[in-house]
Every structure is written in structure tokens, then in C-alpha cells.
Amino acid sequence: MIRKCILKLIFFNQVLDTGIQSIIERFDKLSEHNSLFSFLYNISIIEDENELLKHCKDLQLSLTSNNGLNTDINALELHQELISFKRCSRNEKSDPRKVSEYICKRKMVELFPNLVKALKILLTLPIIAASAERSFSKMKIMKNYLRSQICQLCLVGLATLSIEKDVSNKLGMEEIVADFAALKARKIKIIKKVKMLDLLLYRFLNFCKENSLF
């Protein structure tokens, strides 16, 4: 009986307390995230403009650093951009990813700069509340890439293509091969030979730049 009590105090109660605390922290963090970004998850249902302005100001405050000197977005401009976007895209799906794709495909990034920044932050912000769930594949690749001391262009290009494989998979291999063949790299005497990976990386970066992905 004494051993059971000791086991309960030393092991069971501590495990239970840790589990309860982890659950509380998880919901607190998710609740904080939801309170800041919930209005961006479905722009089409926004009705109260005063409430929308309040959400925009709260988001600006959370994205402000150095005692208010640096901020990523302007709340008043974001408020107007959301209202304008809602009017011009009534028939479009309004989840964050679809909105971001809609703006980029129609080259309207300059019209909605604050909205684009807010969506980029929302879509790239990893929410991990439990210490046992750190297997975030994309972040793992990036961390390995940042820790690497190898500076060969070939490996840097491979890492970039792997990290952004969703974008690189959209590139047309036939066009890349045709461009490579048109260069006639084997007949040109240069210090650094033109390689297939270099051309692929070049096309990838141009694709990202045209679609405002960086």
C-alpha cells in the first residue's frame, strides 16, 4: 500500500499534471491564434465593419515590435483592403489559401499589400502546442538546411527545390530541357559550366518572383 502511494505521488500525479498542463497550454495557444486570425479564414462572411476594424487593429498590435517602431501591416489599410476584396470577389472561395492564390494569379498584390502580408503570415505560421509533436516535415528540412555548413551551389539548389517542392513541381520540365538545349552549354567555354540544376533553380526563382511567393 505504501509503495502504491509513493508510485502515485512520484509518477502518476506528475504525469497527470503534465498532461493537464499540456492540454491547457494547447487550447490557450490555439485560442490566441484564433482570436488574432479568425477574421481571415472566411472573408466573405464579414458583416460588421467596426468589428472588422477592431480585429485589424489587434492584428497590427500583435505584429508590432520595437515599441511600435516596426510593424508588418497597417490596420486601417488592411480594413479597407478587406472590404474592397470582399466586393470584387463575391463568387470566389474566401479561405486564406484560395484568397492568396486569387490575388497572385490576377497580379493584384500591389492593390492588397497588407492583406497579402497578413495571409502570408497566417499560412506560414506553424502552430505546435505539444512538445511531443515536433515532427513538422517542412520545418525539419529548413532547420537541416540552415545548420548545414556546405556551400556548394548544387546542394543549395537541391535544398531550395526540396523545401518549395509544391512550387517546383509546377515547372514544366520540357520547357526547362528546351532552354538548356538552346544554350548549347557544351560548346560555350566558360569558367563555370551551366548545369541542369542551375537552370532549374533559375526558372524556379523566376516563377516565385512572378507569382509573388517570396
Of 106, 108, 104, nearest to 84 by C-alpha is 108
pLDDT of 202 strictly over 80: no
Q: Where are the domains of the chain?
A: 2-124, 137-210
Q: What are phi and psi of 64, to 5 degrees?
A: -105, 140
More confidently predicted of 11 and 57: 57
Q: Report the pLDDT value the prediction gives residue 103, as an integer from 0 to 100.
A: 87
**65 φ/ψ angles, rounded to the nearest 5 degrees:** -135, 175
State pLDDT tens for residues 19-61: 888 788 877 877 887 888 888 888 877 778 888 888 899 888 8
More confident residue, 119 or 190: 119
Structure confidence by residue, pLDDT tens digits, 69-78: 778 889 899 9
Confidence at residue 105, expressed as pLDDT on a 0 to 100 scale: 86
Instruction: Write the DSSP assignment of 68-98 as a string of letters.
Output: TTEES--HHHHHHHHHHHHHH-TTS--SHHH
Instruction: Count Cβ atoms below 10 Å from residue 36 Cβ, excluding itself.
Output: 19
C-alpha atoms less than 13 angstroms from C-alpha of 44 in its C-beta half-sphere: 11
Instruction: Give the model's pLDDT for residue 114.
Output: 92
Please list, in sequence order, all residues whose beta carbon lies within 8 angstroms of the beta carbon of residue 77, skipping any fewer than 6 positions away: 113, 114
Kindly tell me if the per-residue pLDDT of 195 is higher than 60.
no
CA distances from 103 to 80, 120, 211, 212 (A): 16, 12, 9, 10
Beta strands in the chain (DSSP E): 64-65, 70-71
Mean pLDDT of 59-85: 85
Tell me the mean pLDDT in the region 5-15. 76
Question: Is 180 in contact with 194 (CB distance < 8 Å)?
Answer: yes
Query: Please, which pLDDT band fits residue 190 given cuts at 50, 70 and 90?
Result: very low
Global pTM value: 0.53
pLDDT in tens, 105-160: 888 888 899 999 899 888 887 655 555 454 445 556 555 655 555 555 556 666 67
